Structure 1
C-alpha cells in the first residue's frame, strides 16, 4: 500500500473528513496524521479536546501498522497519556511500528502541537490486529 492508497482510505472515513485529518507520511512502519487546530476541536478551556487527541493517536497507530501488515487492520486497544494541554495551530500524530508479527503489531505514537515550537502533548501505545475479510457496512 502506498501513500495515495492510504490517503484514499483515510478520506473514506466520514469522521476523519469531519475533523479535516490528513495523512502527511506513510510507509515502512510509519504514519503521520495531521489536523489543523480550530475552535471546534477545543474544549472549554481552549485546549484541544482529549477525544481529538485520542482519535489522532488511534488512526496514526493503525495506519502505521497497516503500512507493514496491509490495509485489513483494526485497533484492538490502545492507551494514551496526556502530558500537557494541547495548544497551537497544528496537531501532528507521529506513529511507528515497534514490533509486527503475522496477526498484529504493537505501535507507538507521539502527539505534538506545532506553532512557533513543537511541543509533545501526549503519547500513546496500541495493539493493532489483522482482520482479514473486512467488509463495509
Structure 2
C-alpha cells in the first residue's frame, strides 16, 4: 500500500470509531508503523483535581499504538495487551499521542507511545505506554 492509500485507510478506520468521534479525538499523522493522535482538553475530560482523567490518556495511548501496529502490518489490528506509566498530570489545552511500531512480524507488532500535554506552547511528557498489537482476523 502506498503512503497516500495508507493514510486514506487509516482515516477511514479512525472515522468509523464512534468513541473517538464522541470525545473529539483526531488522527493527525499516519505512516507505516507510526500514528499521531490529538485531543482538545475540555472540562468533561477532567477528573476532580482538574487534570485530564487517566482513562482519557489511556485511550489515546491504546488507540495510537493500535494504529501504529496496524499500519506497520498493513491492515486492521487489535490491542492484545498494553501498559502505561503516568509521569505527570495531563493538563493544558491539548494532548498529543505519538506511537511507533518497534518490532513487527506477520501477526503482531510491539509498539511504544509517548503522550504529551500542550501547555503554554510547550510539550510536556505526561505518559509512556507500550503494547502488543495483533492482526485482526475476520
State how many pairs are aligned. 133
2:11 alignment counterpart? 7
Q: Distance in 2 between matches of 1:130 and 1:66?
A: 7
Q: Distance in 1 between matches of 2:43 and 2:11?
A: 25
Q: Deviations over 1:85-120 (max 9, x none)?
A: 111111000000010001100000000011321000
1:93 alignment counterpart? 97
TM-score for the superposition, normalised by structure 1: 0.93
Structure 1's unaligned 5+ residue stretches are: none
| Alignment root-mean-square deviation, CA | 1.0
CA contact (8 A) 1:97 1:108 kept: yes
- Does the alignment pair 1:73 with 2:77? yes
Look up the SS of the partner of 2:71 in the other structure. helix
- Does the alignment pair 1:132 with 2:137? yes
Q: Distance in 2 between matches of 1:101 and 1:63?
A: 15
Q: Distance in 1 between matches of 2:126 and 2:77?
A: 26
Report how far residue 71 of structure 1 moved.
2.6
TM-score for the superposition, normalised by structure 2: 0.93
Deviating 4+ runs (over 6 angstroms): none
